Amino acid sequence: NTKWRALAREILFIIAEHGLSKAILSYLHGKGCIALCLDNMRRSSVFKPLDIVEMLLSIIAFLQRSSCFSQILLDDFKLNQGYQFLIDFLLKVDKELEKNGAEENNVLENVFQRTISMTVSLCNTGFSQTQTLLSCTDQKQKHVLIAKWQLQEFRVPHISAKETGKRNSKEHQKRKTKEPRSDNALLCCRILEAIMDIYRMDHANYFILESLNTLCLFAEKIHLKPEMIQSSFFELVEFIAVQLNFVPRKELIALSVILKSNHVMETSVRCTRTLVHLLRINNGFIDVYREVGILEVFVTCMKRYKEYLCIRSDAMVSEMREDHGKGLVTPSTSNNAESLGRLVLEGLGMLLCGSSTNTAIFKNCGGNKCIFEMMKYDHFSPEMLKIVKELISSVGGEDDMLNMLKNMNLNEEWEKNKKPIRKERITISYRMSQGKSSLEGLL
């Protein structure tokens, strides 16, 4: 069979190079050649993964050549579940990776790489009708939508070259379903890299594929993926916002859902770091985050951080009392909750800076009360003090000033009535003096 397959491959290449015509393509279509090839690959149990890859390479190379004359064979490939076969094949190789040894895994990894590279090339095969970025019959409403979601100087990019434009959206739609279904880090990373390559190949490709919601689908299970995959995913979101100078509204909403659900703390930290990084790069996201609901999610995360500070403060007091007789004080250790809290406070500080609308929403969500309650736990970080400054300097800041002073006075009364534990009192008094001096600097 190996010799026959090699001979058939050579014949296909010769026809593709010298003998393609609409008559030949119609003949191949009438005889059901594509369906027969796919059926043989499905039924055979003796083919090794590398053999199937070689056959797929031959078929796809022929499809690419034939699509210049007619899309009839490419349609045959779709109608006979060719894209689904690619998915099933990769998932099958994924399962074999878990069973085999290191040497066989190297071969299978090579299969992964070649198959995914092959599917990327298949993306540029054929023709498809593309929709405009914002399709809206009402021109007035369309201009409002564009102004609402565009960054400054944004332009929808044109396809730079015929070979780089994304024309086979069906293939991309099938490939995106492989990501959530596989837990293999190698496969997921290869697919995300392939998507990144497609976006980099031509900036117009993202807008052609935007309606498929590729990253939004993947975001639903991102917390179940390894760190390497999560990092690649968030890099993709940053690429869209930074390199394309575009507001990825759907992706940002997906990130807000990740942050609000908070399934895994490490994922929430990476998600928040991405959101804060976008704010640092472009302050246009200050209004965007308000519109997509990220501001409210940040306030929710801040309330969780306050609860964490409360639990940590109680634990520290208990440890100090236990270690008082030994003369020991257990230092607090930074962890993911601390990192997430500081990132959220930094993001809120940037969102409130110079924005009365965001500040009003922050207050309506109970953010100002939460900030002042955090003072009870001797928390006077620079990020928090920046938020306090924005609250005091905004309209109605007099009430916030009174609440802040009230909470600080309650703190002092609480400290006076506490049982005398020398080291604990020294630590808390020092922190309070630091916080007061910082607040005096703000005032």
Separation between Cα atoms, residue 302 and residue 268, nearest integer Å:
13
Question: Angle of helix 33-43 relative to helix 72-79, nearest 10 degrees?
Answer: 30
CB-count exposure of residue 12 (10 Å: 0-12, 13-18, 19+) = middle
CB-count exposure of residue 67 (10 Å: 0-12, 13-18, 19+) = buried
Query: What residue ranges of the chain have pLDDT lower than 50?
Result: 133-137, 139-148, 162-167, 171-172, 174-176, 178, 327-333, 419-433, 436, 439-440, 442-443
Look at the chain and count its residues. Answer: 443
Separation between Cα atoms, residue 12 and residue 6, nearest integer Å:
10
The answer to whether the CB of 108 falls within 8 A of the CB of 97 is: yes
In degrees, to the nearest 5, what angle opens at C-alpha 402 toward C-alphas 397 and 404? 90
Separation between Cα atoms, residue 89 and residue 34, nearest integer Å:
17
What pLDDT does 256 receive?
Answer: 95
Structural domain boundaries in the chain: 1-127, 247-320+331-442
C-alpha pair distances (Å), 102 with each of 98, 107, 188: 10, 9, 19
What pLDDT does 102 receive?
Answer: 63
What pLDDT does 349 receive?
Answer: 94
Separation between Cα atoms, residue 422 and residue 419, nearest integer Å:
9
Q: Which residues contact 183 (CB under 8 A, 6 or more apart)?
A: 224, 225
First to last CA, the chain: 84
Residue type, 389: K
What pLDDT does 127 receive?
Answer: 60
Burial 224-255 (b: 16+ CB within 10 A, else e): ebeeebbebbbebbebbbeebbbbbebbbbbb
Separation between Cα atoms, residue 378 and residue 15, nearest integer Å:
78
What pLDDT does 331 receive?
Answer: 42
Q: What's the gap between Cα 147 and its chain centre?
A: 24
Q: What's the gap between Cα 371 and its chain centre?
A: 29
What pLDDT does 381 receive?
Answer: 80
Separation between Cα atoms, residue 279 and residue 351, nearest integer Å:
8
The answer to whether the CB of 149 falls within 8 A of the CB of 288 is: yes
Q: By C-alpha distance, which of 57, 48, 53, 52 is closest to 100?
A: 48
CB-count exposure of residue 375 (10 Å: 0-12, 13-18, 19+) = buried
